[in-house]
Amino acid sequence: MSRQHEPLRYRRRHGAAVTIHDVAARAGVSVATVSRVLNGKELVREETSRQVLEVAKSLRYVPNSAARTLSIRRSQTIGIVLPEVHGEFFSEVIRGIDLAARAAGYHILVSGSHSDAREMIDVLDAMRGRVDGLVVMAPDVALAPLRDQLAHKLPMVLLNSDDERHAAITIDNYGGARAMMKYLASLGHKRIAFIKGPEQNGDASERLRGYRQVMKAHGGSSRELEFEGDFTERAGFDAVQAILSLDPRPTAIFAANDSMAVGALSALAAAGIDVPRAMSLAGFDDIPIAHYVNPPLTTIGVDIAEVGRRAFAVLADAMQRGSNTRREECIGTTLVVRKSCAVPTSRIQKVRGRKKGEGS
Amino acid sequence: MSRQHEPLRYRRRHGAAVTIHDVAARAGVSVATVSRVLNGKELVREETSRQVLEVAKSLRYVPNSAARTLSIRRSQTIGIVLPEVHGEFFSEVIRGIDLAARAAGYHILVSGSHSDAREMIDVLDAMRGRVDGLVVMAPDVALAPLRDQLAHKLPMVLLNSDDERHAAITIDNYGGARAMMKYLASLGHKRIAFIKGPEQNGDASERLRGYRQVMKAHGGSSRELEFEGDFTERAGFDAVQAILSLDPRPTAIFAANDSMAVGALSALAAAGIDVPRAMSLAGFDDIPIAHYVNPPLTTIGVDIAEVGRRAFAVLADAMQRGSNTRREECIGTTLVVRKSCAVPTSRIQKVRGRKKGEGS
DNA sequence: CCGCAAAATGTAAACGGTTACATTCGGGGT
DNA sequence: ACCCCGAATGTAACCGTTTACATTTTGCGG
């Protein structure tokens, strides 16, 4: 038996942090009382409470959260897992969640840069016991393996992915794309080229769907106006080359995201084509740069911080109920009109002509 | 005595996660052995080890990190505290730290948006017991109270702030500013206006120091070329109004950061002044937008992710030694030449004149 | 002054790991 | 057969809280 080493309990080692026992001893009460005072829920005599609080403050006592977590099986922390932690989008999402989470007394444990599913699962597992819930944004390919491998049944909300078993927050890509298309149509555009996003990307396919829906509604549903793209500037640049060689040249280009629109803009400038006079151009996302390019880009804005906020709200609800229910929330978009779209030239002439005729 | 409620130990409640005890029981060994196998440091018979591993895997056992943290008094997590989690800069820093941290098996606990010192201290306290070390970027005003209030002696590294008691990672603002000034001087500029940053901001004052140093070296050290600013676009815009009213008009403007340079650019464009022909313009930071404005901005680039990486490296060292020593690391900068600076017109004439003279 | 319920406080068993020390096991050496 | 030794494994204390239940105090009616 190991009874020969003297009990270390209550003996403060040098440099060690002050514990609830220290406070209890100094205040002349039991640890239970201290705990009760600090958590404030139970009945404690006014005077005892005051005294304990005083001692705690003078000792600069801060409860050890690992112990607390272990004991109550709640960490007051949520995990955020993203494929990347890079760029405006993710930073905004994190900010949105952070704000909401801190207001509710939660901390956030962030992990980014996960290329494959395996890595992602490792991170998720490593979060076990550290977090009470998860906000996950999985690259689409990683989602399927995730479902099965997940060891824990933690409350979880998905961003921009869909799933039958969890809550999801998505962006209204379809509605946004339609809104932009309707705007372009209202200006008088009929031949509108579309630069697509990556094949398997969910956002991309919804935006494409919106484009097609409006094109079809206006009678011009051919696929020859759709061009490949992968959300990079380069892709936008390249797509323009192909678009310009079309014979009845389109009067407008709608890129599935702003980065490609920016790339397209350079290509257009290089080809000496005036935007918006000779060609209208639209993007999607309203990244900060959209504001600065010349001309400023007309695009679809998404309140990204709101995505984060809502994600937390839904997660908070799931954590409270301790269950994961399928549920989808869709964040709306706004049409941001700047200077890159105008009435097509052919139309201007027509309109002028008619007016002249009417006037004379 | 509370001996009448039957011992719950080892009884699995529905839905509860599998613990080390479950693994031990199933593998027919003690918890100590399981722990040894999993942590791999001590001697365990090959066969026992294999068997434990097998059971652990089949049970999908994942150790509870709160328990582990409590026991070994290390969380394998570092805290990151920033004044904001907004924008390219912070997201890059986080990314840099995250990458380095994960490679070393650490998690990151992030907290942003702390306007005042009080709030910051609360967060820092709340991290007690959750993290093994801290990377802190404090708004300058908050730094002093921080020093005294800090209850814990956690290893900590400061970003862009200085302190006698902790390690700090700073950006070579002075060197960067000098490099830009020398570049402008080499183009032939003598009257160079400077748009300053916020008074108490450390980065800002170092940049100003670099500006002054070069101005003095070239003989023109008057303060009439320095203008107030606060790092916002608005400030850059406003400063230009004042600059343009100067009588011998400056031939170049050096803004203490890119945002102000961008603001200045709009003002210049509005005033019909051609950049760079009639006025050269330079910034500092190389934010992504710098690349997109027209003309693209010549600026000083900072490898921000590197700041994060180095911060982690220094912190890792401090955590290993368990001590906080003053130590400063400076991250270098690069001159990024784009299109917003050119030889001043007066000089072009002179040069042409001389060349003509020589030629004839 | 007693008895008793309610209120306040104390005791110690969890929470799920790690690890110092104890114990057992399995050969060699004599 | 016995002793000794190192390797492998087991036992239980400990990390710092929370909290069920036990115990003590308090206030009050009789």
**Residue range A190-207: average pLDDT?**
92
Tell me the one-letter amino acid at A65: S
CA of B45 to C1' of C26 (A): 13
Range of weakest confidence among A113-117, A180-184, B196-200: A113-117
Q: If pLDDT is split at 50, 70 and 90, which confidence band does A353 have?
A: very low
Instruction: Using DSSP, state whether A197 is helix, strand or coil.
Output: coil
Min Cα distance B270 → chain A (Å) is 14
Angle between helices A304-321 and A87-103 (to 10 degrees): 40
Q: Percent of chain A, pLDDT > 90?
A: 60
Closest A-chain CA to B89: A87
B184 has pLDDT over 70: yes
Distance CA A116, CA A284 (A): 27
Given the DSSP bridges, would you call strands A107-111 and B107-111 parallel, antiparallel or unpaired? antiparallel
Q: Which of A66, A90, A99 minimises the CB distance to B66?
A: A66
Distance CA B99, CA A111 (A): 9
Does any strand D atom come closer than 7 Å to the Cβ of A72? Answer: yes
pLDDT at A122: 82
Does any strand C atom come closer than 7 Å to the Cβ of A45? Answer: yes
* Contact call for A107 and B108, based on CB within 8 A: no
A263 has pLDDT over 50: yes
Distance CA A311, CA A155 (A): 12
Decide: A151 and A173 in contact? Cβ < 8 Å.
Answer: no
- Two tokens, residue B323: 């001590």
Instruction: Using DSSP, state whether A156 is helix, strand or coil.
Output: strand
Q: If pLDDT is split at 50, 70 and 90, which confidence band does A355 have?
A: very low
Q: If pLDDT is split at 50, 70 and 90, which confidence band does B151 have?
A: low
Most confident of B11-20, B85-94, B234-243: B234-243
Q: How high is the mean pLDDT of chain B?
A: 85
A309 has pLDDT over 70: yes
Distance CA A291, CA A274 (A): 18
Choose between B77 and A321: higher pLDDT: B77
A208 has pLDDT over 90: yes
At residue B148, φ and ψ (nearest 5 deg) are -80, -45
Q: If pLDDT is split at 50, 70 and 90, which confidence band does B215 have?
A: very high
Distance CA B262, CA B285 (A): 12
pLDDT at B222: 75
B227 has pLDDT over 80: yes
- Two tokens, residue A340: 């890159």
Distance CA B216, CA B35 (A): 66
Tokens 């921009």 correspond to A160
pLDDT in tens, A61-70: 999 999 999 9
pLDDT at B45: 87
Decide: B131 and B109 in contact? Cβ < 8 Å.
Answer: yes
Angle between helices B46-59 and B20-27 (to 10 degrees): 120
- Two tokens, residue A130: 């550290």
Decide: A197 and A207 in contact? Cβ < 8 Å.
Answer: yes
Q: Order of strands, edge to edge, in the sheet holding B327-331?
A: A327-331, A167-171, A156-159, A133-136, A77-81, A107-111, B107-111, B77-81, B133-136, B156-159, B167-171, B327-331
* Contact call for B112 and A130, based on CB within 8 A: no
CA A53 to chain CA mean position, Å: 41
* Contact call for A152 and B128, based on CB within 8 A: no
pLDDT at A146: 65
Chain A hits for B88, Cβ within 8 Å: 87-88, 91
Q: Which of B65, B86, B87 minimises the CB distance to A128?
A: B65
Does any strand C atom come closer than 7 Å to the Cβ of B141? Answer: no
Q: How high is the mean pLDDT of chain A?
A: 85
pLDDT in tens, B295-338: 999 999 999 889 999 999 999 999 988 778 888 899 999 999 99
**Residue range A334-344: average pLDDT?**
96
Taking C1' of D14 and every protein CA, the nearest residue is B71
Q: If pLDDT is split at 50, 70 and 90, which confidence band does A90 have?
A: confident
Beta bridge partners of B158: B136, B168
The residues, any chain, with a CB within 8 Å of residue B332's CB and separated by 6 or more, are B172, B175, B303
Does any strand C atom come closer than 7 Å to the Cβ of B67? Answer: yes
Choose between A167 and A195: higher pLDDT: A195
Distance CA A347, CA A127 (A): 59
**Residue range A143-166: average pLDDT?**
74
CA of A3 to C1' of D16 (A): 22
Q: Count of CB contacts below 8 A, A vs B?
A: 143
Given the DSSP bridges, would you call strands B333-336 and B299-302 parallel, antiparallel or unpaired? antiparallel
Q: If pLDDT is split at 50, 70 and 90, which confidence band does B162 have?
A: confident
pLDDT at A152: 61
Q: Exposed, middle or buried by CB within 10 Å (0-12, 13-18, 19+), for A140?
A: middle
The closest alpha carbon to B313, from B96, B129, B48, belongs to: B96
Distance CA A110, CA A106 (A): 13
Q: If pLDDT is split at 50, 70 and 90, which confidence band does A360 have?
A: very low
CA of A193 to C1' of C4 (A): 88
Choose between A5 and A245: higher pLDDT: A245
**Residue range B155-181: average pLDDT?**
89
CA B63 to chain CA mean position, Å: 33
Q: What is the DSSP letter of A285?
A: B
Distance CA B164, CA B159 (A): 13
pLDDT at A126: 84
Q: If pLDDT is split at 50, 70 and 90, which confidence band does B147 have?
A: low
Does any strand D atom come closer than 7 Å to the Cβ of B45? Answer: yes
Show which positions of strand C are touched by protein (CB under 7 A). 7-23
A79 has pLDDT over 80: yes
Decide: B260 and B235 in contact? Cβ < 8 Å.
Answer: yes
Tokens 């002696």 correspond to B153
pLDDT at B9: 35
Q: Percent of chain A, pLDDT > 70?
A: 86
CA distances to A139, B29, B37, B68 from B57, rounded to whole Å, are: 26, 16, 13, 19
A131 has pLDDT over 90: yes
Q: Tell me: cis bond preceding A63? Omega within 30 of 0 counts.
A: no
pLDDT at A345: 83
H-helix segments, A8-109 = 20-27, 31-39, 46-59, 65-72, 87-103
pLDDT at A140: 64
- How wide is the angle at C-alpha B67 spanned by C-alphas B64 and B73, nearest 5°? 125
pLDDT at B173: 95
pLDDT in tens, B260-289: 999 999 999 989 999 999 999 999 999 888
A49: phi > 0 → left, psi -120 to 50 → alpha, else beta; which?
A: alpha
B141 has pLDDT over 60: no
Tokens 């149509």 correspond to A185
Q: Max CA-CA distance within chain B?
A: 114
B117 has pLDDT over 80: no
Q: Percent of chain B, pLDDT > 90?
A: 59
Closest B-chain CA to A128: B64
Does any strand D atom come closer than 7 Å to the Cβ of A45? Answer: no
Closest A-chain CA to B153: A15
Decide: B299 and B338 in contact? Cβ < 8 Å.
Answer: yes
Which H or E element spans position B281? Answer: strand B280-282
Distance CA A29, CA A241 (A): 80
At residue A281, φ and ψ (nearest 5 deg) are -140, 135
Choose between B138 and B26: higher pLDDT: B26
pLDDT in tens, B47-96: 889 999 999 999 989 999 999 999 999 999 999 998 876 667 788 888 89
The closest alpha carbon to B110, from A72, A82, A150, A117, belongs to: A82
* Contact call for B95 and A86, based on CB within 8 A: yes
Strands (E), chain A: 77-81, 107-111, 133-136, 156-159, 167-171, 192-195, 226-227, 252-255, 280-282, 299-302, 327-331, 333-336
Decide: A90 and A112 in contact? Cβ < 8 Å.
Answer: yes
**Residue range A267-292: average pLDDT?**
92
Decide: A12 and A55 in contact? Cβ < 8 Å.
Answer: no
Most confident of A127-136, A174-183, A340-349: A174-183
pLDDT at B129: 80
CA atoms A161, A165, A166, A167: torsion sign: positive
B3 has pLDDT over 60: no
Distance CA B290, CA B88 (A): 12
Does any strand C atom come closer than 7 Å to the Cβ of A207? Answer: no
Chain A hits for B85, Cβ within 8 Å: 91, 94-95, 98
Q: If pLDDT is split at 50, 70 and 90, which confidence band does B164 have?
A: confident
Residues (71-90, chain A) with CB within 7 Å of strand C atoms: 71, 73
Q: Which of A65, A68, A80, A339 is the best substitution to test chain B (most B C-beta atoms within 10 A)?
A: A65
Decide: B57 and A149 in contact? Cβ < 8 Å.
Answer: no
Q: Order of strands, edge to edge, in the sheet holding B192-195?
A: B226-227, B192-195, B252-255, B280-282
The residues, any chain, with a CB within 8 Å of residue A225's CB and separated by 6 or more, are A191, A192, A193, A194, A215, A246, A250
Distance CA B341, CA A340 (A): 27
